[in-house]
A and B are shown apart, each in its own frame.
Chain A
Amino acid sequence: MRILKLIIVLVTIISLVTVSSCGGKKSNTQTGGDLEGSITISGAFALYPLAVKWAEEFQALHPNVRIDLSAGGAGKGMTDVLADVVDLGMVSREVYPPELEKGALPFASAKDAVVITINANNPLASKLMRHGISQETATKIWITGEYTTWGQVLGTNDKTPIHVYTRSDACGAAETFALWMGKKQEDLLGTAVFGDPGLASAIQADKLGIGLNNIGYAYDEKSRKPNQGLLVCPIDRDNDGNISPDEYFYDTKDDFIAAVAEDKYPSPPARDLYLVSHGIPKNPVVIAFLEYVLTDGQKQNVPVGYISLNEEKLQAGLEKLHKQ
């Protein structure tokens, strides 16, 4: 009997505590100019590093705001935001018509790219870096499976096999990469690994691996160089089997994003990154956050390793946001 009473008392206490903290749930208000409330964002691994920076800066500006971020792939981001499970979805691909019909409202917030990654200790690494991979070659590796040895890629007789990797979660990176070859993510061949970090790890562990990654995970944030054990394989745009100095800008993140900004890197696999909301946002915190991202937030893009958008796109976004 005593135990039962104890349990009842405990439960009452816990429920009181939680109910009182529940009060904070709906109060996303603007009290006297200082924003407070919490928003949740989920989605693409691609946008995650930048979103982290934006969230940090925004929370520094507004200490009473709390932003919860998680990554699970662009597919999850879209799903979550359309189901009203989160406030904003991070999507690293174009929004599909059925999603637009369901009320998805995309705000272009940054630009980045998917790159081809190989292991730094690949015996043919230096040759590959000079030869590059063209769209045709990529199709033969990831779509048709015609190329199964590195020799075929380089045009030699080398029989070393290629170990192809792709993404298992529904993501913008793979979708964009496939789009570059005119296909969809489900058409990509290869061992599927979950998440961008996961794929990068897999390539780090496999000398003969080749995969696709977002800039954020191919390059190290602090050193600006490719992550340890990885190399970013150049894309051979003019298909001449040779990477001219004009086509080479892969040593550091900064070189690379400059090249993307100048359209030297094809688009796709470079693409716009979107923050998607379900309809026009009503939550003042969400509105304030989007405003921040589309204005001051853009200053963070390049330092973190992304490309800022041009004024037109940003203005269009702001207009969409304020349309009543």
Chain B
Amino acid sequence: MSSKRFLRPPGARPEREFLARCLQCGQCAQVCPFYCIYMHTGFNPFISGTPQIDPRKAPCHLCMHCSEICPSNALENVPKEKVRMGRAELDRTKCHTWQGFIICRSCFERCPLKGRAIVLEKGIYPAITEKCAGCGVCEHVCPKKAIVTIPTRFVT
């Protein structure tokens, strides 16, 4: 996954405002119980040290611990239904179910907003709705890597 496509932790403000507020203290990475947040390690001084999530390695489970403790409110403490970290996009040409091989409900079963962010069309086919928080759990569990989570700032 290219480093430019990382997600911000849940509750993050719009990218510009987030960057202006983030103190790069790393406390969010240190409290995350799922070890999914890590600090940006590159040499770009404008984003080095800011938190990011790579759902392929470890997705966010929307526990919201990080936004509770953020000292500068760069991560706002919002209810998890209102979180918009990004948007999951399902490639139907890769999906087991849509291709008609087997009925795979991995993404549907593991979605923290099960039944709202991912619904089953006709009771079988998974589809991602507008309520997707972009946590990346579905991307992480998809056996075919058919799902990609696009960070909010790249969603058009």
Pairing of A with B: no
